[in-house]
Amino acid sequence: MTGYSPNAFALACWALPASLGAETASNPAAVLYGSLAAITLFPAFFGKQYFTEYFARRTTPPAVWGTDIFRRINRNMTLMWAGIFIVCAIIALVPGLLSLHRGPLTVLASQMVLPLLFMRFVGVVLNKRYPGYYQQKAGVVPLAGGPEVTGGDSAQAISSRTEKEEVMSNRLKVVAVNGSPHAAIGNASLMLRMMEPVLKDQGIDLEEVFLADKRIEYCVGCAVCMEKGTCWRQDDHAEIVGKMLGADGVILASPVYFRHVTAQMKTFIDRSVAYGHKPRATWKPGMAISVSGGMGETAVAEYLGSTLRAYGAFSIGSLTAIAVAPGAFMGIDLVEARAKDMASDLARAIKEKRRYPATENDLFFYLFMKDFVERQKGFMPDDYRHWQEKGLFDGFGAYVDQGFAVPSVDDTPRKEWIRGMISKETGKAKAQKATDRPAGAKSAATCRELLGMMPFGFKKEAVGALKAVYQFEISGQENFTAHLSIADGRCTYADGPAAKPDVTIKSPADVWLAISKGEMDGQAAFMAGKYRVEGNLTLLMRLKTLFGS
């Protein structure tokens, strides 16, 4: 028993057959590798985190820790490392089991060199490649570097990961997030199925995510995501957003529940605040789908369309419908035709990498969010850092990645257009003035209008020291009494009789109007008795001098 470790010998004799146990007790390297295998497996047996999860959490955002795929990858990798350590232990035991010569080189090779090479070229390679392989098999775009995703728990890490996700996908894909509790039998899902054949013909896969099947906790408004860049809650939200950020196109779909999106969709959107304050580095086409029993589907679609920017997408339009039961669409032929048109537009935008022109909604969002992030940079440092690193504070053009066209240097066409417009408008004004009704008394349409206009034609220079009151009693087509008062070089008009008129003219309306317009001789009309005058007749003769023709 010389050279045996007492503790190793006791453990080996208890756990292994006699010959293998004795060999193990004399081989501390094998015991070490076997102990590592046990250390790797035991924590999971007691409900603790997996062995590799401890290291993965040091290099991944907290938002992915609670996802099922993160746990499954680390479970499998833990089993792989336990197997690797067991293989290393067997390699260390091979010389003794095969009764090989135990020279220094044999011991060094079996107990150190070969196990280390096996861990380096098998274990490390699997450690790097397996996470991405597993995610691809599961239909999820691989995170850069497997579980060792870039960059800690900041939003910068998420942005970096997102950019790499979009490059790694070889197959074009649209991810549709459906907030209907009815899942595949709901009308929102049926509308997506109407689009699927067109997308498939264009070589684009459609993946539908049913929020009702996922675990998404409420947003509690703690603002940790604004400080750290990710949400601390461990559920399915981050995985779904990862799918959306890695997709080539995005669809948000929800039926109308009480004039808004469903509770599932609203909870999902509320949890996206960490993304909503951080415009993405890339833009992709997106659209909204909504269906109602007859109220609210267009408003809900508009809301979903405006929410797309949180996931790096812009809206190419919306697909809406009215339906009161599964498949019972109003105008189903029109809904199907519209769905095909929208699918074609979406496919074309994806394949041609199209962008739509910026709108006032984009400008309003930018101005609001820029001011908000700048003012609250102490409260939301991660958002502020994102805006700085992306150069978004440089202006609206940096946000939408669009700029204004440079105007033509030659301004001559514009000046000629303005000159011609002014000339044309001036010519119209002159022509109109030439065809206007005659000025003064000739323009009056009624006798009351005529008398009301007389003070404007009053000749101040002809009045001298005259002080007089002219009263008019008009009858016939019009029936009223009014008077003109002349005093201190002024003439004023007033309705009703005067207290002491100096002269009173009693005339039918058409007669006095014709005399004032020169269509009838006033003296001849007076002599013919067509109108009567009471009072100072001399004042009657001065009317023409005081007011002209």
pLDDT score recorded for residue 480: 94
pLDDT by residue (tens digit) across 36-72? 888 888 887 777 788 888 777 766 656 566 667 778 8
Q: Is residue 486 helix, strand or coil?
A: strand
**Residues, the chain:** 549
Q: Is the pLDDT of residue 388 over 70?
A: yes
Q: Is the pLDDT of residue 520 over 70?
A: yes
Q: Is the pLDDT of residue 24 over 70?
A: no
Higher pLDDT, 233 or 476: 476
C-alpha to C-alpha distance for 174 and 207, rounded to whole angstroms: 6
207 phi/psi in degrees, rounded to 5 = -110, 120
Q: Is residue 150 helix, strand or coil?
A: coil
pLDDT score recorded for residue 390: 84
- Contact between 212 and 180 under an 8 Å Cβ cutoff? The reply is yes
Q: What is the DSSP letter of 406?
A: P
Domains present along the chain, CATH in parentheses: 6-137 (no CATH), 155-354 (3.40.50.360), 440-547 (3.30.1050.10)
pLDDT score recorded for residue 465: 84
Written as six digits, the tokens of 199 are: 């997308």
Quick one: average pLDDT of 276-296?
88
pLDDT by residue (tens digit) across 491-515? 999 999 999 999 999 999 999 888 8
CB atoms within 10 A of CB 371: 10
Residue 25 binned pLDDT confidence (cut-offs 50, 70, 90): low
pLDDT score recorded for residue 10: 45
Residue 336 binned pLDDT confidence (cut-offs 50, 70, 90): very high
Residue 144 binned pLDDT confidence (cut-offs 50, 70, 90): very low
Q: Which single residue is written with the structure tokens 């013909």?
A: 201
Output the average pLDDT for the chain. 81
SS (H, E, C) 308-350: HHHHCEEEEEEEEEEECCCCCECCHHHHHHHHHHHHHHHHHHH
Quick one: average pLDDT of 202-222?
92
pLDDT score recorded for residue 401: 82
Q: Which single residue is written with the structure tokens 């239909």?
A: 139
Q: Is the pLDDT of residue 433 over 80?
A: no
C-alpha to C-alpha distance for 162 and 327, rounded to whole angstroms: 37
pTM above 0.85, yes or no: no
Residue 455 binned pLDDT confidence (cut-offs 50, 70, 90): confident
Residue 16 binned pLDDT confidence (cut-offs 50, 70, 90): very low
pLDDT score recorded for residue 147: 39
pLDDT score recorded for residue 438: 53
Nearest to 505 by CA among 468, 453, 545, 463: 468
pLDDT score recorded for residue 160: 39
C-alpha to C-alpha distance for 164 and 141, rounded to whole angstroms: 10
254 phi/psi in degrees, rounded to 5 = -160, 135
pLDDT score recorded for residue 476: 92
pLDDT score recorded for residue 354: 87
Question: Mean pLDDT lowest for which of 174-183, 247-256, 509-518?
Answer: 509-518
Most confidently modeled range among 50-54, 167-171, 461-465, 498-502: 498-502
